[in-house]
Amino acid sequence: MSLKNTKTTTSGLDWNSMLGLLVRLKQEKNYRAYLLIATGCYFGLRIGDLLNLKWIDVFEKDEFILTEQKTGKKRKITINAFVKEALSFVAQSEITSGKFDIDGYLFQNRQHHRITVQFANLILHEVLKKYNVRVQNGSTHTLRKTFGKRVWEMDNKSERALVYLSEIFSHSSIATTKKYIGITEKQIADVYLKL
């Protein structure tokens, strides 16, 4: 946690570590953390937008459209097969226990209100600590950065990936996106040296 009115730098998770973490959370039936990390890392949304999602928005859907809180821009998210399976698995568990509400939030408290960003951070901190996951200043922002890092790496750390991410993240420039996902000048130089 950072002090009020100060900035801290958060890093993303290694993708394979994140996938391993999801397997463990699912096995231990920690479905809220499982779904929080899965949707956070696969959707790349800001935490406020993620916490506003309701089951009706995403359950048994191929895509959804949301209006970002921060920018007011409409964004279309395609739901990939892994997330569809995770949503279905958690929904089935909630249906079985009688807790499923199609109009309810994906992440809600006992009073059926959406959980707060602070509570989502607490969930994530506990998971990272319990499973000894190393990440710089781990927070819910780590999930969005994990998404960005993965997109960049999957496209061989290309400029094209940065253009995509700049659009997805609604950044004003590619330079902002580079800084956001932690790309250093050394890493960029290394890309050229490896050609």
Give the C-alpha separation, 58 to 88, whole Å.
10
- Let me know the angle formed at the C-alpha of 31 by 25 and 35, rounded to the nearest 5 degrees: 90
Catalytic residue, candidates 46, 114, 149, 178: 46
Task: Please say if 125 is a catalytic residue.
Answer: no
Task: Please say if 24 is a catalytic residue.
Answer: no
Catalytic residue, candidates 145, 149, 178, 180: 180
Catalytic residue, candidates 141, 145, 149, 150: 141
Query: CB 12: neighbour CB atoms within 10 A?
Result: 25
Task: Please say if 46 is a catalytic residue.
Answer: yes
CA proximity to 170, closest of 5, 7, 46, 52: 46
Catalytic residue, candidates 4, 29, 70, 76: 70
Residue with tokens 């959804």: 64
Give the C-alpha separation, 21 to 15, whole Å.
10
Give the C-alpha separation, 75 to 63, whole Å.
10
Cα maximum dimension of the chain: 57
Task: Please say if 134 is a catalytic residue.
Answer: no
**Exposed/middle/buried for residue 116 (C-beta within 10 Å: 0-12, 13-18, 19+):** middle
Catalytic residue, candidates 114, 144, 150, 178: 144
End-to-end CA distance of the chain: 40
Catalytic residue, candidates 26, 32, 54, 171: 171
Active site members: 46, 70, 141, 144, 171, 180
